[in-house]
Structure 1
Amino acid sequence: MVRAFRWPPPPDGGPRTWGPGPGGPRSGRPALPEPDTELIATPHGVRLERLVTGTGDPVTVFAHGLGNGIAVTRPFGSGVTGRKVFFQFRGHGRSDAPEGLWSYLDLSRDLRAVADLSGATRAFGASLGAGALCRLLVESPERFERLIFFLPAALDQPRAPVARTRLLELLSAVESGDASAVAEVVAAEMPPAVRNTPAGWAYLRQRLDHLLRDGLAAGLADLPGQAPVTDAGALGAVTAPALIIACEGDDLHPVEVAEQLAAALPRATLHRYARPGVLWTERADVRARISEFLNG
């Protein structure tokens, strides 16, 4: 039986669980020190937070998911050669949060600006980032030489209501400044089996540090109700090889969206995992699959 999640953590850095069992401190691997990021100016007037790692060519840009950021996308590039460019979309981290309603067109401009300013020839998009990448490719189908879409969440239809509900819960918790409320929402993203493990607590603390320090812009709330593209058929002009990664049973990232995207892209390969939570259960395989595709 999975034991209940607890917050706040025990003062000795636990984690601990309810019920009988070992009670001594069990610390996880120490978190990596926060890297120094920079704010870059873009042609469309929105300053974006960026981190560049690695050296040489080729250059790969990594676009994160809704409510996530650089810290979550960095592990995807661990085995990728060349320079790796990570950034925060508008409304995330230290990036600007311009007034007004935002659309996938705005997100695609953020992604394009970072890619152009960094000289990126390859692109990785996770969830929201995958949608922004699709929108960019509709307008510029030959922009990148290789493409990866990790857990695409929407294509030519808006996301399911559950996605909007989860985002509104996260926005409300972050706005309240209540660490326990934010922890409960973030913990729901994790497989139950890892919530009271050292790795789970380390991830949770990292996410809380970022969300409570930087916040999330209210303008993000409208995005789940929008579709990245109006016609998926327009992606038929994309000639670059593409890898699409999906998970069965993921209600926030339906496998049907990945299948539709794979059918729309002429040179796409779709890989399905049998269950969600692959960053916990299949982490090494995901990293190897990404690096093999991008380095090939």
Structure 2
Amino acid sequence: MRGFRWPPPPDGGPRTWGPGPGAPRTGRPALPEPETELVATPHGVRLEQLVTGAGDPVTVFAHGLGNGIATTRPFGSGVAGRKVFFQFRGHGRSEAPPGPWSYLDLARDLRAVADLGNATRAFGASLGAGALCRLLAESPERFDRLVFFLPAALDRPRTPAARSRIADLIEAVESGDASAVADVVSAELPPAVRNTPAGWAYLRQRLDHLLRDGLAAGLAALPDQAPLGDRAQLAAVTAPALVLACAGDDLHPVEVAEQLAAALPRATLHVYDRPGVLWSERADLRERISGFLNG
């Protein structure tokens, strides 16, 4: 049986165990990363951001734990107006003030970037969805439209499986061992993608960012916390919301998405029938997000 291994061959592979094609495999060269900037915030933490597009409306995109600008940019494809992508504290080039941190700290990061960019719409993935919930509990009328992708926690901490995965990722990044980081990150990929050129390209991008920028130790306490004390705090949110989940995703249980959709007065819930929708349902996902935000 062919399995995963790291590092990939220098000619761009992938290579697999056992007999099979062995000729060099080439691919398109990676596009250069766009230039980001560090912005000062009112709460004293400089955050890395990237602004694309032009005009109104303005949408802010909040990423998941251990991810960042590169992994949230695909969600903005097709979204009209200006798009503001940023890195939470402890990610990328954003500063990492002394921890531990809470979802309130993340909500402050999100609010600062949204306010500086005059954003009226917000997208939150996983950890970013939790930070967005925390912000809305304080300011329920802050945004006109909301998208929550794979919410991971609401008024209870994340599952033990999720906490274990995040702890493994932080430990691997701290070790500086590319192979160890690759082993953890590869679990983000559907099995059918893990040993393909697209899968290797994703792994290379993630490893480049994680090993270059690291992950702050202050992030380790977040999986043990819940964004809200009570989901009823979201009852005053008046903006239309789209909640997206995947059946079978142990790190982002459908139950959390269902609870979030029920707590938001004007929410629409869509559940995909399997995980890995960025790979298997990319076009549908893009159309749902852009159609909702552009609507």
Which category describes the TM-score, using the shorter chain as reference length?
Answer: over 0.9
CA distance in structure 2 between the aligned counterparts of 1:111 and 1:264, rounded to whole angstroms: 21
Structure 1 residues 29 and 235: alpha-carbon distance in aligned structure 2, compared to 1, 3 A threshold: farther
Amino acid in the other structure paired with 1:134: C
The yes-or-no answer on 1:251 pairing with 2:250 is yes
After superposition, the C-alpha distances for 1:212-260 in whole angstroms (9 at most, x for unaligned) are 0000001100000000001101111111010000000000000000000
Q: What is the deviation of 1:171?
A: 0.9
**Runs of 5+ unmatched residues, structure 2:** none
What stretches of structure 1 move > 6 A for 4+ residues in a row? none
Amino acid in the other structure paired with 1:233: A
- Quick one: percent identity of the two aligned structures? 84
1:221 match: secondary structure: helix
The residue that corresponds to 1:139 in the other structure is: 138
Amino acid in the other structure paired with 1:263: A
1:244 match: secondary structure: strand
CA distance in structure 1 between the aligned counterparts of 2:275 and 2:215, rounded to whole angstroms: 25
The yes-or-no answer on 1:113 pairing with 2:112 is yes
CA distance in structure 1 between the aligned counterparts of 2:286 and 2:195, rounded to whole angstroms: 24
The residue that corresponds to 2:14 in the other structure is: 15
1:188 match: secondary structure: helix
Are the equivalent residues in 2 in contact too, given 1:29–1:199 (CA < 8 A)? no
Amino acid in the other structure paired with 1:170: L
Moved more, 17-26 or 176-185: 17-26
CA distance in structure 2 between the aligned counterparts of 1:127 and 1:170, rounded to whole angstroms: 16
Structure 1 residues 261 and 176: alpha-carbon distance in aligned structure 2, compared to 1, 3 A threshold: same
The residue that corresponds to 1:91 in the other structure is: 90
Are the equivalent residues in 2 in contact too, given 1:123–1:146 (CA < 8 A)? yes
The residue that corresponds to 1:66 in the other structure is: 65
Moved more, 255-264 or 5-14: 5-14
Q: What is the deviation of 1:28?
A: 4.1
Amino acid in the other structure paired with 2:86: F
**Runs of 5+ unmatched residues, structure 1:** none
The residue that corresponds to 1:76 in the other structure is: 75
Are the equivalent residues in 2 in contact too, given 1:91–1:217 (CA < 8 A)? yes
Q: What is the deviation of 1:32?
A: 2.4
Amino acid in the other structure paired with 1:93: G
Are the equivalent residues in 2 in contact too, given 1:51–1:87 (CA < 8 A)? yes
The residue that corresponds to 2:44 in the other structure is: 45
2:192 match: secondary structure: helix
Q: What is the deviation of 1:19?
A: 1.8
Structure 1 residues 41 and 257: alpha-carbon distance in aligned structure 2, compared to 1, 3 A threshold: same
Structure 1 residues 218 and 242: alpha-carbon distance in aligned structure 2, compared to 1, 3 A threshold: same
Are the equivalent residues in 2 in contact too, given 1:52–1:83 (CA < 8 A)? yes
The residue that corresponds to 1:224 in the other structure is: 223
The residue that corresponds to 2:207 in the other structure is: 208
CA distance in structure 1 between the aligned counterparts of 2:214 and 2:195, rounded to whole angstroms: 25
What is the total number of aligned residue pairs between the two structures?
295
Are the equivalent residues in 2 in contact too, given 1:191–1:277 (CA < 8 A)? yes
2:180 match: secondary structure: helix
Q: What is the deviation of 1:29?
A: 4.1
CA distance in structure 2 between the aligned counterparts of 1:144 and 1:236, rounded to whole angstroms: 14
